[in-house]
Amino acid sequence: KYMQISLVTLQHIQMGVFIRERYSSRLTKVETCTVACGLGGVWGNKGGVGVSFKIDGVNTFSFVAAHLAARASRKRDLARNRDFHKIMKNINIASNNKNGNDLYSSTDHLFFLGDLNYRVTYGSPGSEDEFIKVKQKVKERKFEELISKDQLRGHIENKRAFVNFQEGDIQVSVF
């Protein structure tokens, strides 16, 4: 049986965290926070919500769910990275702001998830030609090539966003 330990909401961005009831006595220091990144940097249609807690008073787990800037353009791609950095800097969970720490250094296990809106791009994000090219690659089942053009992976490799995060292997099922 599970119990809810937190439900945090920023407009339509919402995250619930549940734990098995038998572990509830081991849980302490539940913290939540929201960071808005939408219109004017204050509207909550884009941004993130966070939850952290300690287990056995030792290990800190932090979860951040985000909805980053949408649309396929270079400007919006940069906005996604800017939103990510704003969330990581301002999300006040895991006691990260008490000693001037960032979230990376104040948690043992950090999970970042959500509608990140990164795209597959061949250098002309949002163009009709690029859309046609991507569709053709899907039709040809050239999934490895598409994965190599993933914006998020490029930003991680070039240390522009999500530095020190690890993404699992992308497995494409053929249906």
Q: What is the DSSP string of 133-147?
A: HHHHHHHTT-HHHHH
| The dihedral sign for the CA sequence 170, 173, 174, 175 | negative
- In angstroms, the Cα distances linking 28 to 5, 7, 35, 94 are 10, 16, 23, 11
Q: Using CA atoms, how far apart are residues 48 and 34, in angstroms rounded to an integer?
A: 6
User: Model-level pTM greater than 0.85?
Assistant: yes
User: Mean pLDDT for the chain?
Assistant: 90
DSSP string covering 34-92: EEE-SGGGT-TTSEEEEEEEEETTTEEEEEEEEE---SSSHHHHHHHHHHHHHHHHH--
Short-list 26, 50, 48, 47, CA closest to 37: 47
Of 8-17, 86-95, 153-162, give the lowest mean pLDDT range.
Answer: 86-95
Amino acid (one-letter) located at 15 = M
Query: How confident is the model over 9-38, as pLDDT tens digits?
Result: 999 999 999 999 999 999 999 999 999 999
The pLDDT confidence band at residue 97, using thresholds 50, 70 and 90, is low
Question: Mean pLDDT over residues 39-67, rounded?
Answer: 92
Of 19-23, 42-46, 115-119, give the lowest mean pLDDT range.
Answer: 42-46
Question: Mean pLDDT over residues 34-44, rounded?
Answer: 87
Beta partners for residue 3, in sequence order: 19
More reliable by pLDDT, 16 or 92: 16
The first and second tokens of residue 108, run together, are 């043992």
- In angstroms, the Cα distances linking 10 to 13, 28, 44 are 5, 23, 6
The pLDDT confidence band at residue 175, using thresholds 50, 70 and 90, is low
